[in-house]
Structure 1
Amino acid sequence: MALPWLWWSWMSIQFIGLFSTTAYRVVLTVALASGVGIFFHQAESFLAAKWWRLREPSDQELARIAPAWLAVCHAAGIDPGRFRVWIHEGPETTAPATVGRTVAVTNWSLYTLPQRNLEAVLAHELAHHLALPPKVSLFLYWLSLPARMTGVVLRAGLRHDFWKKVVWAVIAILSFGVFVLWFVTEFDYHTVLLLSAWSAPLLVPWLSRHGEQAADRTAADLGYGTPLVEVFAGREFHRAQSAPGWRPERFGVGDTQPIETRRQRALEKHLKKLAESTHQPYRIDSA
């Protein structure tokens, strides 16, 4: 699923060459040079602070995070020093997924949850990093940055009256070229990759939601299923109490994180399957 990101990163750089060969060479050189430096500590810290909008925890926050993080890493059987926990300023239960050695946790979870439930959230965040080695996931993410930055520019252009027309004109011309290519060369993998840009607004959020629920299941496999269910149930109750007239969030196809009620139901089903496979009684302790 990373292939369309990598393809469009390359196409984004090639697109610059249509207007200026010098600019193309400069951008390509910078991109290749940055690939060497991405594995340095300072480069990943810059990515965490500027791209993911995270911040390093204070001493007080570290004192709160450390016991929970040690417990989660012990359950997963990994070295706690292998990753660094950063803070995401937001009211969500879980933070946006990161790569490399950077693990993000929301300040809402940090300051609101009891330690066992905080451990469950940290287990979810750690689960995003267990599929691939940190350097591999970081390198793949770096390769996708040109495509991601192109998406940021396109979204910004679509919010401007004049540039919106320019963006749609470019999209129309490129789309016409794709269908001409389809007609001339027949349907092949090149066509699939070119058409992936149209499916991206639906595919990318779907993949993100799928990744969040997969991380929920991994946290449950580490022994944090019930505390994580409590987090999702308690978050909905907290929102209802803090905002009179509040209604549960409605699902949108562009949402990158599933709403808590959906995650809770999916996680409960997974816990029931775990209980059936191990012949253990299934129950959810009250928060």
Structure 2
Amino acid sequence: LHPDDPAHPHHISTDRRRIHLSDSQRGADVTAIGNLLLYLPHFLCSLFVMALVSLLFGGLGVIVFFAWLLSGALVFHRPTESAIARRLLKLRHPTPQERARLEPVWREVTARAGVEGRTYELWVEDSDHLNAVAAAGHIVGVTRFAMNQLPNGELAAVLAHELGHHVGGHTWSSLLGYWYALPGRIAWRVLRAVSSAVFRVSRLFSCFGMGIVVLVFGAIAFATVSTLYGLPLLILGVPYALAAVGRRAELRADQHAAALGFAPMLAAVLDKLHQAEQHQQAQAAAIAAYHGQPPPQESALSKLLASHPDHHTRLHHLQPYLQPKPQR
């Protein structure tokens, strides 16, 4: 059946109805709070870096420091969000025809969730892949493929999943954590580049010069770690912990969509994503075989750094919503 056919099993009615708004429009669930806590070592390193940078501005240093601390509010600043959507996420505003397709579905999703739909902005990505995104404080983006090729019930499931990220606080917590970790990350990259250049130069001055450089950088590293009570060492494990929290956030967003009645539609979308992934893997294996190479294998570390749970895990967590309810 055509995706727009009302007889399609995943077609839903989007007739206007009375909307009951929830008292709690958004919050911060366990995964959002955990995400912020995991960024704490990065934040403290950034705090240290910005304190050093503020010293360069003399009397204006305090203003610079507090301006950076307050800059996180830009996460909910609409013009800043629009810039993020256009520049970083490569999204655009929907055309009138696309809006006519999206808004009835979005209205149905937000009505079931008890959320004011006008709080959020719908965006479109010009992509032929099935995908969607929730970002910053109010961005909900969907690909052109998902918008045009999915039955409206499956499109609703995708949008309900992204709404779950907003309602659970996953989007703003991730962006805030990333933003406040940025000065520390930049300082770390600069330090690595400088140390690499110094090591290359020190080789020209024999092993003695190399030893002096190692001692100097070792002393600086030890002083930094001891001053911050070993917190910089925690940064080594933060990417893996953040990935684990991110996977948990995906499961919570799935649960949000399923609780709104979109579990069968979401399962169908996950099957399509799984089929597309398998097709890509088969193509990669065929190319490797053509060049006489073994098929690419996913390493254990890459699995630990995966941002989304695997297909079977997501379906397993949807099972309670897919099973028929017992008759009373």
- TM-score with structure 2 length normalisation? 0.63
Q: Contact 2:51/2:65 (CA < 8 Å) preserved in 1?
A: no
Cα offset, 1:54, TM superposition:
3.4
RMSD, matched Cα: 4.0
The alignment partner of 2:166 has SS state of: coil
1:165 aligns with 2:212: no
The alignment partner of 1:104 has SS state of: strand
Q: 1:196 to 1:37 in 2, by over 3 A?
A: same
1:223 to 261, 264, 274: 261
Cα offset, 1:255, TM superposition:
2.2
Deviations 1:207-232 (CA, angstroms, capped at 9, x unpaired): 21221122112211111111111112
Q: Contact 1:38/1:139 (CA < 8 Å) preserved in 2?
A: no
Aligned residues: 262
- After superposing the two structures, state which structure 1 stretch, 7-16 or 215-224, moved more: 7-16
Tell me, in whole angstroms, the C-alpha distance in 2 between the residues paired with 1:197 and 1:271: 33
Tell me, in whole angstroms, the C-alpha distance in 2 between the residues paired with 1:74 and 1:100: 19
Letter in 2 for 1:176: F
Q: 1:214 to 1:139 in 2, by over 3 A?
A: closer
Q: 1:219 to 1:19 in 2, by over 3 A?
A: closer
Q: Is there any run of 5+ residues in structure 2 with no aligned partner, and where?
A: 1-33, 200-213, 286-295
The equivalent residue for 1:8 is 42
Cα offset, 1:36, TM superposition:
5.6
2:243 to 199, 205, 226: 205
Deviations 1:137-192 (CA, angstroms, capped at 9, x unpaired): 7488446513046447757997xxx55826999996675346646xxxxxxxx647
Q: Considering only CA atoms, is the larger Rg found in Structure 1 or Structure 2?
A: 2
What is the aligned-residue identity percentage?
26
The equivalent residue for 1:266 is 313
Which aligned pairs between 1:21-40 and structure 2 lie closer than 5 A?
21-23=55-57, 25=62, 27-32=64-69, 34-35=71-72, 39-40=76-77
Cα offset, 1:201, TM superposition:
1.9
1:146 aligns with 2:180: yes
Tell me, in whole angstroms, the C-alpha distance in 1 between the residues paired with 2:50 and 2:217: 15
Q: Is there any run of 5+ residues in structure 1 with no aligned partner, and where?
A: 182-189, 281-287
Higher relative contact order (CA 8 A, sep 6+): 2
Letter in 2 for 1:225: A
Q: Contact 1:93/1:121 (CA < 8 Å) preserved in 2?
A: no
Cα offset, 1:236, TM superposition:
3.3
The equivalent residue for 2:141 is 104
The equivalent residue for 1:45 is 82
Q: 1:194 to 1:150 in 2, by over 3 A?
A: closer
Letter in 2 for 1:47: I
- TM-score with structure 1 length normalisation? 0.71
Cα offset, 1:113, TM superposition:
1.6
Q: Contact 2:125/2:144 (CA < 8 Å) preserved in 1?
A: yes
